[in-house]
């Protein structure tokens, strides 16, 4: 898959991230085995496009905030993202005018603190981070109206079938764009970065219980921890090691029926929850280097 994005000094640049799959060379496989179709896709990276990306970005934001998406004016948040078209990245497969499959950007919470949608985000972050007292204390200091330093809110989401390999290039380009913006005296000299993401836990299926389905062999007395945490975005597990983090229940959390509706090829229901990660300015470049080693093609 080849990728490209408009850079500061050139129209486009190519970033190779490998193939979408490997060729099956096992000629001895039985004739009745299932054949796997492999589709190679060229992912292209672009600056956010105000004329084309509104609906696609709004849909991805709705997915990012999950059950709590109705708490925010997502149209206003999308407009804010599109108002800074030289900062952030969208990932597409059908050219510049198509809908994005993924995006990553950063919003200055201090610079836009007077905007209602940013005020709602700050209140939400402070309320939901109370599950981690130390993190909550830091965020109250960093996000207060009198704070002298600036915190960048990183927003990123992608469709479920988009590979993690696209993540390191997006973060790397974000760092470059922030440096360019600082050189031009734009308000992006952040002291900290705050990432909103999602995790989930597995819970017993209510459907199986109602239908009295026999448990599959090995499921009885499962050793899975009730509170074991899983990541929708694999990179989050790496990022959080370099900062402070907290998971939290959604304000509009669904019940077991919602969890069952989100399960796929699993004996457990999936209960999503929010996740906040705070990292320092000097840590993010190191994190990006680590992500490149972990998720680059061939890693």
Residue the block writes with tokens 């496989």: 29
3-state secondary structure of 142: helix
CATH fold for the domain made of 2-6+41-295:
Aminopeptidase (3.40.630)
pLDDT at 242: 96
* Nearest Cα residue to 22 out of 3, 44, 40: 40
* Nearest Cα residue to 42 out of 22, 23, 18: 18
Cα 173 to Cα 45, 182, 244, 266, distances in angstroms = 10, 14, 24, 37
Is residue 207's pLDDT more than 60? no
What's CA 76's distance to the chain center, in Å? 19
Average pLDDT for 51-73: 97
pLDDT band at 212 (very low <50, low <70, confident <90, very high): low
- Is the Cα dihedral 247, 252, 255, 260 positive or negative? negative
Average pLDDT for 189-209: 84
3-state secondary structure of 96: coil
Report which DSSP code applies to 247.
E
DSSP secondary structure string, 205-235?
-HHHHHTTPPPPTTTTT----TT--EESSTH
Report the 10 Å Cβ neighbour count for 298: 7
| Cβ-contact 77, 115 below 8 angstroms | no
| Cβ-contact 117, 73 below 8 angstroms | yes
What is the token pair recorded at 182? Answer: 């600082």
Q: Are strands 14-16 and 2-4 parallel, antiparallel or unpaired?
A: antiparallel
| Cβ-contact 259, 203 below 8 angstroms | yes
Domains of the chain, by residue range, sit at 2-6+41-295
| Cβ-contact 235, 164 below 8 angstroms | yes
- Is the Cα dihedral 172, 176, 177, 181 positive or negative? positive
Average pLDDT for 35-47: 80
pLDDT at 265: 44
pLDDT in tens, 140-176: 999 998 999 999 999 999 999 899 999 999 999 999 9
What is the token pair recorded at 52? Answer: 């084309």
Q: Which residues pair with 156 in a beta bridge?
A: 104
pLDDT at 204: 75
> How far apart, in whole angstroms, are the C-alpha atoms of residue 14 and residue 42?
11
Residue 127: CB partners within 8 Å, gap ≥ 6? none
pLDDT in tens, 125-147: 999 999 999 999 999 999 998 99
What is the token pair recorded at 282? Answer: 């000097």
pLDDT in tens, 102-127: 999 999 999 999 999 999 999 999 99
Cα 63 to Cα 38, 197, 271, distances in angstroms = 26, 10, 14
């Amino acid at each position: 898959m080849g990728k490209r994005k408009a850079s500061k000094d050139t129209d486009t640049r190519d970033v190779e991230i490998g193939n979408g799959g490997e060729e099956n060379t096992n000629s001895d496989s039985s004739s009745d085995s299932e054949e796997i179709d492999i589709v190679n896709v060229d992912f292209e990276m672009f600056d956010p496009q105000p004329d084309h990306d509104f609906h696609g970005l709004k849909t991805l934001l709705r997915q990012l905030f999950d059950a709590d998406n109705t708490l925010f004016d997502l149209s206003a948040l999308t407009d804010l993202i599109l108002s800074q078209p030289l900062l952030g990245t969208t990932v597409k497969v059908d050219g510049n005018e198509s809908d994005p499959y993924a995006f990553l950007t950063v919003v200055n919470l201090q610079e836009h603190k007077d905007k209602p949608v940013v005020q709602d985000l700050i209140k939400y972050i402070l309320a939901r981070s109370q599950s981690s007292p130390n993190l909550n204390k830091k965020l109250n200091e960093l996000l207060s109206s009198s704070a002298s330093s600036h915190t960048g809110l990183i927003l990123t989401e992608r469709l479920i079938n988009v590979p993690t390999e696209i993540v390191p290039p997006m973060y790397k380009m974000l760092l470059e764009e922030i440096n360019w913006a600082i050189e031009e005296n734009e308000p992006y000299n952040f002291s900290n970065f705050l990432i909103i993401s999602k995790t989930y836990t597995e819970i017993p299926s209510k459907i199986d219980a109602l239908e009295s389905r026999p448990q599959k062999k090995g499921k009885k007395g499962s050793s899975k921890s009730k509170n074991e945490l899983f990541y929708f975005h694999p990179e989050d597990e790496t990022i959080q090691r370099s900062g402070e983090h907290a998971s939290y229940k959604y304000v509009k959390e669904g019940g077991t029926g919602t969890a069952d509706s989100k399960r796929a090829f699993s004996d457990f229901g999936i209960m999503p929850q929010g996740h906040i990660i705070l990292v320092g300015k000097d840590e993010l470049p190191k994190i990006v280097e680590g992500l490149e080693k972990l998720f680059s093609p061939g890693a």
